Amino acid sequence: MPNFFTDNEDLLFHFDNLNIEESVAIIEDNYREVQEYPYAPTDYQDAIENYRLILGIIGDIAANVVAPRAADVDAEGSTLKDGKVTYAEGTREAFSQLAQADLMGFTLPRKYGGLNFPVTIYAMAVEMISRADASLMNLFGLQDIGLTIYKYGSDEQRAEFLPKLANGECTGAMVLTEPDAGSDLQAIMLQAYQDDKGDWRLRGVKRFITNGCGDILLVLARSESGTKDARGLSLFACYGDDSVKVRRIENKLGIHGSPTCELQFNDTPAQLIGKRKFGLIKYVMNLMNGARLGVSAQSLGISQAAYEEALKYARDREQFGRRIYDIPVVSNMLIDMRVALESNRSLLYSTARWVDLRERLEEQISRLKAEGKAANELNARLKEATRITALLTPITKYLLSESANRICYDSLQIHGGTGYMKEFDIERLARDARITNIYEGTSQLQIVAATGGVINDVLVTYFEKKEEYVYKGVLTKLADHLKEIRQIFLESLKYVIDKQDKYFQDVAAKELVELYSFIYTGYLLLDEAEIESRKVFIANRYIVSALARATSHADAIKNEHFSDLLHADEILI
Amino acid sequence: MSYNSIVLVKQVPDTANLSGEVMREDGTMNRGKLPAIFNPEDKVALEVALQVKDRYGGKVKVISMGPPKASDVLRECLYMGADETFLVSDRKFAGADTQATSYVICKAIRKVGDYDLVFAGRQAIDGDTAQVGPQTAEKLGIPQITYAEEIVDLQDSRITVKRRIDGGHEVLESPLPVLITVIKSAATPRPFKAKRAMAMKNARSLPELDRITEANSLLNIEDLKEEYASNNLYIPTYMVDDLDVDPDRCGLAGSPTKVHKVEYVVLEGGEHENFEPTKKGIGDLVDKLVHDHIFG
């Protein structure tokens, strides 16, 4: 029987090198829960065995239930009739299996029916589900909604909403976007007001809501009438009851299994989550970061599927009397795809580990505070982890979603005319991939989000430590390349800063962010190459081509490729 | 009214997903490369039993006869929701044909006892005999319904079952206890439940505990058995001495079926014949297929 966990050697490599002992110890509060829950781990090793077992179960469901239904789900799509949304049959069956297997409360505490798993393991699960059917990720991967209620809601709200999400009785939706508030969420207009009894109600329209037909909705709404910016927005939870009308579902390019809804709220009763006015600036930002990691994992899952399709096709297809796999141009493309896939995976799970550490340090600090103990050292580490995750999360989302499109593009190219036809999976994968660099913040916005961290050189200490470390043998040359890339980065950065031109900086940010990511990912791959010799090939191609690209990026900045922006009106006729 | 079920399951080689490494060039099989899985129709049988439990209450117990490795499928039964599992394993049971197998399983069922329903898959994908279920019912002296597709009704001590027959189906009623073998369309097996899997992952059968004690001389098998049992993690194991069996009727000794000869077949592309894509060509192709007994 195929299994998307055990058949994926690279995923297993990352699983075997997790090194999340500190995070797991905190999340398990020193392995105390086993007395209350027989499925809680007794120690780190036991926790790892649990993760392995559950990822195996998801790998089984993904390969044998989800993947075989993906093409039908794509063809059937979701439908809207008499105001009611119906998922494709395959989506219903797959979701029901995931819910029956207790997998819908992945990161929620056991108290609320969850598994209490780290974010890193959740990202692995999302990768496998997305490899099987990217559109199902939008149901499976909406678990951050529960986590947001857990983090910012009251005890009553947790008890009300979380068990229903964890057991799969309810699905959720993040209800943010409006017709005139897409990338710019500050412009949200949906009105939240208090009725005669002082209870909150919602009125207005939301658009492009993934799974907007869900049962539990997290809605960003304007609670402070008369305001126009982010500080007038609060976060609300409500049920998708009769007062929430699904006006239409979108007819989309890809992810057909996931209904994208336009919603009309007609004085819908709602509960305020957390504090007023903190909706966008705190809660949604946190929610979005979780969702961005989810989309990164989704992108990686699609990339894995697209790569495999290409490899399989290239090995089967014969032209000119040989397998096209043996034609150097094709095998070179395949190697590029494989190197992108593996370096993407390294970046994703590294970022996920940082997110875990950040979440856990926060958890530990609040635990210490409750006991009246000092947490100075932890506070400093939390601050660092927060800065690093704020940098790595958008970088990861940007690179992995763009890369998924590129891998699908090349995979389709290897298929030739066949890939353009509906009969082969790559046609669907290429369509599904196209949303990943748009939703949860476009690539351009991810760059904006990462720019601050890059300009402030947030990873400077880490890079300096890496430069001191002596990589041996063939890795020495590659380590030198990385030092060279870092010099190129620092010079380019200085050039941009010295110029003191905001417009120039905005445009050059893409090159700067990519330069920074070359160094970070390069070191991840070097470290992996020390553990496993096959990884030397991956590190080598990645770093050698990164050096070439770094030079060209630096040229683009220093030669001011973008100076013609001032003449945009003359060029764009 | 609640109903107790016993489900018979078998671990089998995964004959549906043969990788290139499984068949050697001389046509022999490389068993080491063949993954072992839960026999698909037995998994359906467990699902049907669990559905009876969900609806009417009662216990679901599972029996598997096989080598120590068969403990894998018993753990999977626990992950799906079985209340208890039993391993029937002894070198003396090895090499059993369907008669010797059903003899031992019948004794194991009697030992586990207290059942209203016995479920099994129609057949295992390795032997494809479909005989163990029926023979077990005969030896237990209870009625049997084979090829079951649906439990139509279950009331008091009578069950109504729809079974598949050539060209249609028939509906049978039977008193309890009864042995039922199910086909694949009877149910879709539920997934392993994450929480049960984590709680039961360390469940071990006697030969597995034996191996632990062999690796560590400080451990004593009786203590270990007790420790696992107290944590609900012991899979009770029946060996030849635990069952009321005549050793001569078990295993190879008790099996009248003897393997006369094994022939290794090397599958390879041979000669081919071309047919024109015309009406006549297609007619010729069909004639040829009928003549070679591939059709009809």
DSSP code per residue over B82-102:
-SEEEEE--GGGTT--HHHHH
Residue closest to B98 by CA, chosen among B62, B68, B70, B139: B139
ipTM of the complex in this document? 0.90
The predicted structure's pLDDT at residue A241: 95
Question: What are the structural domains, with CATH classification, of chain A?
Answer: 172-278 (2.40.110.10), 459-571 (1.20.120)
Tokens 């997934």 correspond to B191
Q: Are B11 and B72 in contact (CB under 8 A)?
A: yes
Q: Which of A160, A382, A384, A148 is nearest to A280 (CA)?
A: A148
Under 8 Å between Cβ of A293 and A355: yes
Judge contact between A123 and A244, C-beta under 8 A.
Answer: no
**Please, what are the domains in chain B?**
5-254 (3.40.50.620)
pLDDT band for B31, please (50, 70, 90 cuts).
low
Q: Do B191 and A39 touch (CB under 8 A)?
A: no
Q: Which of A39, A49, A60 sits opposite B195 (nearest CB)?
A: A39
Condensed to tens digits (0 to 9), the pLDDT of residues B141-183 reads 999 999 999 999 999 999 999 999 999 999 999 999 999 999 9
At A90-127, the pLDDT tens digits run: 999 999 999 999 999 999 999 999 999 999 999 999 99
Per-residue pLDDT tens for B58-71? 999 999 999 999 99
> How many whole angstroms separate alpha carbon A552 and alpha carbon B15?
54
Closest residue in A to B36 (Cα) is A1
With a cut of 80, say whether residue B97 has pLDDT above it: yes
- B contacts of A102 (beta carbons < 8 Å): 193-195
Instruction: Kindly state the average pLDDT of the residues A496-519.
Output: 94
Put simply, the answer to whether B199 touches A39 (Cβ < 8 Å) is yes
Å between A501 CA and nearest CA of chain B: 55
* CB within 8 Å: A115 and B197: no
In this complex, do A2 and B17 lie within 8 Å of one another by their Cβ atoms? yes
DSSP B135: H
Interface of A with B (CB under 8 A): 1-2, 37-41, 49-50, 53-54, 57, 60-61, 65, 97-98, 100-103, 115
- The phi and psi torsions of B152 (rounded to 5 degrees) equal -80, -40
B197–A57: do the CB atoms touch at under 8 Å? yes
Instruction: Kindly determine whether residue B191 and residue A100, on different chains, have CB atoms separated by under 8 Å.
Output: yes
Residue A2: its chain B contacts at CB < 8 A? 17
- Looking at residue B132, what is its pLDDT? 87
For residue A307, the distance in angstroms to the closest alpha carbon of chain B comes to 20
Name the residue of chain B whose CA is nearest to A52's CA: B198
Output the CA torsion sign for B124, B130, B132, B136.
Answer: positive
Partners of residue B192 in chain A, C-beta under 8 Å: 57, 60, 101
- Residue A71 and residue A425 in contact, taking contact as beta carbons nearer than 8 Å: yes
For A53, the closest of B35, B37, B201 (CB atoms) is: B201
A341-378 pLDDT per residue, tens: 999 999 999 999 999 999 999 999 999 999 998 888 89
Q: Is the pLDDT of residue B33 over 90?
A: no
Closest CA–CA distance from residue B134 to any residue of chain A (Å): 28
Which contacts qualify for B14-18: CB closer than 8 Å, 24 or more apart?
Answer: B14/A1, B15/B125, B15/B126, B16/A1, B16/B125, B17/A1, B17/A2
Mean pLDDT (whole number) for A19-41: 94
Which ranges constitute the DSSP H helices of A62-193? 70-76, 89-100, 119-132, 137-140, 144-152, 155-166
Between chains, do B190 and A97 touch, taking CB under 8 Å as contact? yes
Q: Between chains, do A54 and B196 touch, taking CB under 8 Å as contact?
A: no
Q: What is d(CA A367, CA A518) in angstroms, rounded to the nearest whole number?
A: 37
Residue B29, pLDDT > 90, answer no
Q: How far is A355 from chain B (nearest CA, A)?
A: 24
Which band of pLDDT confidence, cut at 50, 70 and 90, is reported for residue A536? very high
pLDDT in tens, A122-151: 999 999 999 999 999 999 988 889 999 999
Residue A512: CA count within 13 A, CB half-sphere: 29
Report chain B residues touching chain A, CB-CB < 8 A. Answer: 14, 16-17, 35, 37, 79, 190-199, 201
Give the closest-approach CA distance of A389 to chain B in angstroms: 29
Nearest CA in chain A to B16: A1
Q: Are strands B60-65 and B84-88 parallel, antiparallel or unpaired?
A: parallel
Pairing type for strands B84-88 and B237-238 reads: parallel
pLDDT confidence bin for B20, thresholds 50/70/90: low
**Helix, strand, or coil (residue B153):** strand
Q: Report chain A's mean pLDDT, rounded to a whole number.
A: 96
Structure tokens at A24: 């797991």
Judged by CB atoms closer than 8 Å, whether chains meet at A57 and B191 is answered as: yes
Distance from CA of B196 to the nearest CA of A (A): 7
Helix axes A502-531, A460-468, angle to 10 degrees: 40
Distance between B153 CA and the closest CA of chain A, angstroms: 25
Q: If you measure CA to CA, which chain B residue comes closest to A61? A: B191
CA distance B124 to B101: 13
- Tens-place pLDDT, residues A480-492: 999 999 999 999 9
Q: Give CA angle at B17 (B125, B259), nearest 5°.
A: 40
Q: How high is the pLDDT of residue B275?
A: 86
* Residue A353 distance to chain B (closest CA, Å): 23
Residues on chain B touching A1 (C-beta within 8 angstroms): 14, 16-17, 35, 37
Phi, psi of A260 (to 5 degrees): -105, 115
Residue B204: φ, ψ to 5°: -135, 145
